[in-house]
Amino acid sequence: MDRFDNSPETALAWHREGLGAALATVVETWGSAPRRVGAQLAIGGDGRIEGSVSGGCVEGAVIVEALEAIEEGEARLLEFGVSDEDAFAVGLACGGTIRVLVEPIGRVVTEAMLAELVEARERREPLAYEVNLDTGARALWRGAYPERMRMDRSGFEEDGKTFIAVHNPPLRLIVVGAVHIAQALVPMARIAGYDPIVVDPREAFASEGRFPGERILHDWPDEAVAQLGLDTRTALVLLTHDPKLDDPALEAALKADVFYIGALGSTRTHAKRVARMQEAGFSVEQIARIHGPIGLDIGAAGPAEIAVAVLAQMTAVLRGRA
């Protein structure tokens, strides 16, 4: 699922308005396909669209097929070859082939099932959507397909019939401490697909001028993380060096299921941090989740290179690399 893809929400709204709607999903690709597997396009009964399955190469044909599918109330599996010329027009070096599953809302994907998916996405609850192309059976699963969910990898199972669409919440980065490293890390993280939030009660540090266009909370970190919530798609990075600011947020993260916790500081600083967490009653296993000193050891010098090291380590942890 692409980070800003709101096709399920759009399709549900159009269906409830009585317009009619279908969801088109990229289920398989070969070569230099324009969109990754799992990308979606919502098509309204009047031809309006939201999202993309090919960056513009085959949308016209998909819309025609989708309107017919809505009328008939049956799913369709489409296959398109994207020519080199079309691929180049949308910024690719060469063409490829894509298969697209078109599913009308109502008679194929029930309103209740789509509403359940949309509500889970709103709650930032990961869900896997499963469809068997032979039988037409469809289901939503929680806690299933852990490897696919961790890797954000939609696709077919080995049977070649069961397609799994991964619906993970957007990645989120909470940065405590509006310091120079944060100024470099936040825009890098946004490019990498994260929704960053900067938390620092010191308004001189956490200002619009230093973080233009970003979400800034001037709350104390423990209050901020309580407001934001912590889940399996959240990374917490602590950059203040000040236990008064870092520790309350750190304790909240150790009690939650965030996928990454990183804390700035030297080996000596981290040893003191570990001792404080032990005194606070956390176990050795819990404390071992803290990455400190923060970031991969790439010999980073200066805030920007430290930010690169931090983002690289976050990615490695997210994707299950040691």
Cα separation, 113 vs 247, whole angstroms: 41
Cα separation, 243 vs 163, whole angstroms: 47
Q: What angle, rounded to 10 degrees, do the helices at 221-228 and 243-255 form?
A: 30
Q: Which residues contact 228 (CB under 8 A, 6 or more apart)?
A: 172, 174, 197, 217, 234
Strands (DSSP E) along the chain, which ranges? 21-31, 40-44, 49-51, 76-82, 96-104, 127-132, 138-141, 155-156, 162-167, 171-176, 194-199, 215-217, 234-238, 260-263, 290-291
Cα separation, 121 vs 234, whole angstroms: 14
Q: In which element (H, E) is residue 10 found?
A: helix 7-16
Q: Residue 3: its pLDDT value, please?
A: 46
Q: Residue 2: its pLDDT value, please?
A: 43
Q: Residue 31: its pLDDT value, please?
A: 75
Domain residue extents for the chain: 7-167, 171-318
Residues in the chain: 322
Indicate the pairing of strand 96-104 with strand 76-82. Answer: antiparallel
Candidates 178, 141, 33, 190; CA nearest to 97 is 33
Enumerate residue ranges in the chain where pLDDT < 50.
1-3
Q: Residue 89: its pLDDT value, please?
A: 59
The answer regarding whether domain 171-318 maps to CATH 3.40.50.720 reads yes
Candidates 115, 109, 132, 19; CA nearest to 67 is 19
DSSP calls for 34-92:
SS-TT-EEEEETTS-EEE-SSTTSSHHHHHHHHHHHHHHT--EEEEEEEPHHHHHHTT-
